[in-house]
Copies of this chain bind each other. A is one copy, B any other.
Amino acid sequence: MCELLGMSANVPTDIVFSFTGLMQRGGRTGPHKDGWGIAFYEGRGLRLFQDPVASCESEVAKMVQHYLIKSEVVIGHIRHANVGRVTLANTHPFTRELWGQYWCFAHNGQLSDFEPSGSFYRAVGETDSEAAFCDLLNRIRSDFPERVEAEALLPTLLAACRHYRSKGVFNCLLSNGEWLFSFCSTKLAQITRRAPFGPAQLKDAELTVDFQAETTPRDVVTVLATEPLTDNECWTIHEPGQWSLWRRGECVAQGRDAAC
């Protein structure tokens, strides 16, 4: 059904370790072979790498693993297609500009009988996921023509997520580069790594990293993923309806949507 990967950190951090684990699930240890994508914020810019092929076989994926791109906010996705053909235009994450910022979105799930509303943003591809993203941005833009803080956006975000969840399965990650928002309708896990750091062992590949050697005592790095990526750490499993808002690795707001 796809898997999500997100990161929020207070220092530019490379996500190679988590990405390596996720990439194995794109065709080797998992069935998500219908494309992958990962987006890195760099200042106000957004760098997006995507390929509508299995991540475990993708040359672009290999390049990303070796390029050591560092970022404070990352959204990634590996796809197991249900709605929409396997094409570049149907590959997550999706991006749009709003308020002079690049917004980025990835979705795990499937929506039935979903009709996006509004016309500012339109889907280029055929997925329910991109349609939901456009609908979400149309709602935000309609309620807030000018930039607001994420906290002010929450009622609009949660009303939208509640609506999408009523149409099926809707786990998502959303960012505008300042913050990272997650919504869990069925499956999402999260870990926040801070000092004292220790070793982490991937579930899907023979790779262990000793984070103490890679970090300073002030670093805070939160990773969100559909399924825990390591087997020796304690991940927090989100409940259905649970949402969270992250800035620089820290959770600044969270809750559980009552309608779920």
Contact = CB atoms under 8 A, between A and B. Distances in A.
Interface stretch (A10-18, A93-101, A182-190): A93-101
Nearest to A66: B59
Given A59-B67, A60-B63, A60-B67, A45 B100 contact: no
Interface string A29-50: 0000000000000111111101
Contacts of A87: 42-45
B101 A124 contact: yes
A237 interface: no
A52 B99 CA distance: 23
Interface string A115-141: 000011111110000000000000000
A102 interface: yes
Contact of A59 (B44, B63, B100, B120): B63
A124 B88 contact: no
Contacts of A101: 124
B45 A89 contact: yes
A39 to B, nearest CB: 11
A42 B91 CA distance: 12
A245 to B, nearest CB: 22
Contacts of A42: 87-89
A120 B120 contact: yes
Contacts of A97: 96, 121-122, 124
Contacts of A90: 45
5 contacts: A45-B87, A45-B124, A45-B125, A63-B67, A97-B121
Given A99-B122, A120-B120, 20 more contacts: A42-B87, A42-B88, A44-B87, A44-B89, A44-B124, A45-B52, A45-B89, A45-B91, A45-B124, A47-B88, A48-B48, A59-B66, A60-B67, A63-B63, A96-B96, A96-B97, A97-B122, A97-B124, A100-B122, A102-B124
